[in-house]
């Protein structure tokens, strides 16, 4: 059962302070909404939680089955959907997931790839180049990539970006599944209605 702990985390870019003294613990099955205006550091915090960025102060620990995940391995145990995450336009969605499956060292990934492509509604376009997709379909590719290895920690930065009503329903279904499966979910949003759906809320501006 996973646990995510951030202790006294702070970050700044030069003289620009984003946040400091940020501490939170998330237990299995809990979801957290990180809220704040644009530019306040929500995306930066998610990158820190994912292990893609080292905080200036404090620490982040992901524990799975009672064992602390080494910082260098945390990105491999985390699924991240964010505007900054790119897609391979020259590859098909299926080829994209095959590349990621090799990077994540998944054994016999073909059935899992089919499963996540269906989960995000791309089964019928799985063998078309991502460069031919709409912005909403490209967002679905990001979800497929994040879900592929069934990570204990899922991070969603503005999860409804570029998605229509059906896409937002898909995100809500994924979030509910992550909760009921005893995994961890952190969502960065500036939409109050979306934040209220989660167990916990963390307002970035409270940590200046």
The pTM for the full model equals: 0.95
| Mean pLDDT, range 119-142, rounded to an integer | 97
Q: Where are the alpha helices (DSSP H) in 51-152?
A: 93-103, 110-119, 135-147
CATH of residue 114's domain is 3.40.50.300
Task: Tell me what pLDDT residue 171 has.
Answer: 94
Model confidence at 107, pLDDT cuts 50, 70, 90, reads confident
Tens of pLDDT, residues 145-157: 999 999 999 999 9
Report whether 53 contacts 19 (CB < 8 A).
no
Domain range for 44 is 3-207
Residue 12 has pLDDT above 80, yes or no: yes
Task: Tell me what pLDDT residue 27 has.
Answer: 96
In three-state form (DSSP H/G/I as H, E/B as E, the rest C), the secondary structure along 153-186 is EEEEECCCCCCCHHHHHHHHHHHHHHHHCCCEEE
Residue 26 has pLDDT above 90, yes or no: yes
Task: Tell me what pLDDT residue 197 has.
Answer: 86
Task: Tell me what pLDDT residue 4 has.
Answer: 98
Query: Nearest Cα to 155, choosing from 16, 60, 17?
Result: 60
What span, in angstroms and rounded, lies between the C-alpha atoms of 97 and 50? 19
N-terminal to C-terminal alpha carbon distance within the chain: 32
Residue 192 has pLDDT above 80, yes or no: no
Residue 51 has pLDDT above 80, yes or no: yes
Q: What percent of the chain has pLDDT over 70?
A: 100
Task: Tell me what pLDDT residue 194 has.
Answer: 82
Instruction: Provide the domain count of the chain.
Output: 1
């Amino acid at each position: 059962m996973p646990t995510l702990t951030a202790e006294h985390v702070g970050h700044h870019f030069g003289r620009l302070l984003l946040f400091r003294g940020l501490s939170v613990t998330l237990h299995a099955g809990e979801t957290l909404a990180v809220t704040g205006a644009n530019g306040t550091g929500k995306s930066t915090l998610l990158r820190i939680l994912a292990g893609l960025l080292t905080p200036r102060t404090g620490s982040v620990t992901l524990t799975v089955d009672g064992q602390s995940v080494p910082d260098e391995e945390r990105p491999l145990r985390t699924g991240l959907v964010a505007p900054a995450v790119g897609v391979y336009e020259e590859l098909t969605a299926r080829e994209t997931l095959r590349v990621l499956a090799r990077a994540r060292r998944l054994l016999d990934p073909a059935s899992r790839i089919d499963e996540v492509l269906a989960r995000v509604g791309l089964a019928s376009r799985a063998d078309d180049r991502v460069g031919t997709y709409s912005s909403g379909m490209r967002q679905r590719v990001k979800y497929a990539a994040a879900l592929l290895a069934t990570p204990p920690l899922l991070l969603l930065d503005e999860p409804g970006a570029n998605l229509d009503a059906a896409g937002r329903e898909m995100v809500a279904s994924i979030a509910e599944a992550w909760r009921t499966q005893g995994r961890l979910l952190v969502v960065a949003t500036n939409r109050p209605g979306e934040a209220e759906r989660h167990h916990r809320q963390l307002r970035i501006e409270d940590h200046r």
